[in-house]
Chains A and B, each alone.
Chain A
Amino acid sequence: MTTSTEPLASRQGAPRTTPRRRVRGTPLTWVRRGGLANLLFLLPLLGIFGVFSWGPIVESVIISLQHTNFVVTTWSDPIWSNFEFVFRDPTFWLAVRNTGYFALLALIFGYPVPIVLAVIMSEVKRFKGLFSVLAYLPVVVLPVVSVLLWKNVFYDAGATGVFNIILSWFHIPAQPWIQSTATAMPSLVLEATWAAAGGTIIIYLAALTNVPPELYDAAEVDGAGIWQKLWHVTLPQLRGIMLVTFILQIIGTSQVFLEPYLFTQGGPVQSTTTIMLLIFQYAFQSSDGGSNLGVATALSLMLAAFLAVFSAVYFRVTRSWSQN
């Protein structure tokens, strides 16, 4: 295990155990020394990455500067006009707000829940496995199935919708769920949290089993109670993984697509149009009938750039927190 956790860079920098003679020669000596075999083994990777990863990355920069539908392609004039279009589009600002709202709600509901549940679950003495299986079940369900089930059954806004029936037991009036601008986004977040919490719980459970028991023993010797151990041992030990799940959640929620696309198609009155949905609409469902691939690509580059800058700043700022 020690070798496999060794960082990649140091391993690559390690001296070659069998130094080969560096003699410049003809193509034939290159083949004999295994140059052709090396290339043959790299071929699938180079081909697939070239066509489906590196090529498209370069292409996306080009497309963002062009005016393209699927037939005719011209350079934009002025060259940044796709980006300008995005900034002038009121829907873009709405989508930014909606995506921010989704991310914020998901953070408030979804971020602390797995931590609390995992801490409680890790103290369970018997049937520990049962707890994690139950928590993980929603993650196993096909995401599309969860959304369709919640949309058609639980979020049914009529009196016979499952959630509305349950609310009526407590004498709470029926809610419109995904059919009103006020409740649509929280409803989406509720389902997304339900669908994703199990996976995060499992990560925290793994992190909790890695807390060295000696730390608890030592804290007890110093006279710490349960809450003090939780506050001074457990949570600091989880800090590293909490920082990572935080940024992963931000990256994930700012690219949310499935829920708004399948639940509401961005409605009602664009109250759940997120950035990803807007990219999709620019590219494939433009209101003027045509598709605007250049604008869509410009927006996806902007989102990617934002996430890159955000992550870089985040890791720089939090680097000192996770070390002490």
Chain B
Amino acid sequence: MTATPIVSPENVVLGQEPGRSVRGAASLRRRMARRDKESGLDRGIVSATEWRTPRVRFPLATVQLILLILLVICGLLPILWLMKSAFTPTQDTLTQPLAIFPHGATLSNITAAFGINIKIQSYFLNTIWVAAGAWVVQIVVATTGGYALSILRPKYGKIVSGLVIATLFLPAIVLLIPLYLTILHPLVIGSSLLNTFWAVWLPSGASAFNVVLVMRFFDSLPREIFEAAETDGAGPFRLFWSIVLPMSKPVIGVVTVFAIINTWKDFLWPNLVLPGGTDPSSIQPLSVRLPAIQGTTEFGPFLASLAIATLIPIIMFLVFQRTFLNGGGFGGAVKG
């Protein structure tokens, strides 16, 4: 979390000019890519002439083939194994993990994962709730705050944005314990937020990264538009709702992707503030619940649960490939 912005803001706004629709930008990018290909502008280290000489082509193609095989083994096979084990009886997985259905396939693991003891569907629902609420909080804080700081610009705005940017460089762990105490004894409300979704939702809004991202985007919008709207009699609220928000779809999209990926992956914080109580499956998201059930669940259904929890992000990834590979990669890179 700490140092993400060092790489991100320039890359994240995907080279789109503000105000241009996402679809327009995508088709423009495709057209430019095609043009580059035709004129050989997208060349790498090896030139077209070198690629035609067998002395270069043969070893290079071999290296690439080996890499492809390695990537299939490391990237694809573990996931395929997990999918296979979801349909394999527990005993077969334990005794012959690398055999493919030695005694036939079964659906019982899958039905058990959705059954009374595991209830994976409710973990999913909790994850969706956690992500949805965190998304709303992050969008509200980032857009209203960004609007005030970079478009309305009150006199004290520089101090506020300075304070926000200062928190960018602070490792999240400094906050772990005081934040936990804040959740335990919140101001004003009085009662503990422990075991409520608010404990995840509210702190997620304090993301300096989001605010900086939105501010940079708003700074790049042409100010003439706002002046014209002011001349036409639009107040600050009208300006925000009818002009700035509709124009900021691209940056809202980026914040959304980051918000969902981060809440989906997070373990330490939800594990701390959603300990569960009497019925943990009604509040804990997947990332917290799956480690919790590993000791008490039969192996086959447990692996089926892991497989189900893997299938959905993989489908999302394959559908939204371009978004992930263009911008989403930064979340993973920071974890190290």
Q: How far is the CA of A95 from the CA of B215 in the complex (A)?
A: 40
Tell me, yes or no, whether B233 is within 8 Å of chain A by CB: no
Q: When A and B form their complex, which 9 residue pairs have the shortest distance between CB atoms, in order from nearest?
A: A252-B336, A199-B332, A45-B145, A56-B178, A202-B329, A4-B220, A41-B148, A59-B178, A199-B333
12 A-B pairs within 8 Å (CB atoms) are namely A38-B148, A44-B205, A53-B206, A60-B178, A122-B44, A138-B74, A142-B286, A144-B290, A200-B333, A213-B41, A230-B45, A241-B7
Chain B residue numbers with a CB within 8 Å of A37 are 152, 235-237
Nearest B residue (CB) for A257: B268
Q: How far is the CA of A192 from the CA of B334 in the complex (A)?
A: 12
Chain A residue numbers with a CB within 8 Å of B313 are 140-142
Tell me, yes or no, whether A137 is within 8 Å of chain B by CB: yes
Instruction: Contact check, A226 vs B7: say whether CB atoms are below 8 A apart.
Output: no
Tell me, yes or no, whether A307 is within 8 Å of chain B by CB: yes
Instruction: Contact check, A283 vs B177: say whether CB atoms are below 8 A apart.
Output: yes
Binding site secondary structure of chain A: helix
Instruction: Contact check, A148 vs B290: say whether CB atoms are below 8 A apart.
Output: yes
Q: How far is the CA of A8 from the CA of B79 in the complex (A)?
A: 43
Binding site secondary structure of chain B: helix
Tell me, yes or no, whether A181 is within 8 Å of chain B by CB: no
Query: Which residues 212-255 of A have a CB within 8 angstroms of B?
Result: 213, 216, 220, 226, 229-230, 233-234, 241, 244-245, 247-253, 255
Instruction: Contact check, B215 vs A8: say whether CB atoms are below 8 A apart.
Output: yes
Tell which of B40, B71, B144 touches A131, judged by Cβ atoms closer than 8 Å.
B71
Instruction: Contact check, A140 vs B317: say whether CB atoms are below 8 A apart.
Output: yes
Most buried by A among B178, B186, B187, B324: B178
Q: Which residues of A line the B interface, CB within 8 A?
A: 1, 3-6, 8, 11-12, 16-18, 34-35, 37-39, 41-46, 48-49, 51-57, 59-60, 63, 70, 106, 110, 117, 119-125, 129-145, 147-149, 152-154, 160-162, 165, 192, 194-196, 198-200, 202-203, 206, 208-209, 211, 213, 216, 220, 226, 229-230, 233-234, 241, 244-245, 247-253, 255-258, 261-262, 276, 279-280, 283-284, 293, 296-297, 300-301, 303-304, 307-308, 311
Tell me, yes or no, whether B202 is within 8 Å of chain A by CB: yes
Chain A residue numbers with a CB within 8 Å of B153 are 16
Instruction: Contact check, B96 vs A57: say whether CB atoms are below 8 A apart.
Output: no
Chain B residue numbers with a CB within 8 Å of A132 are 325
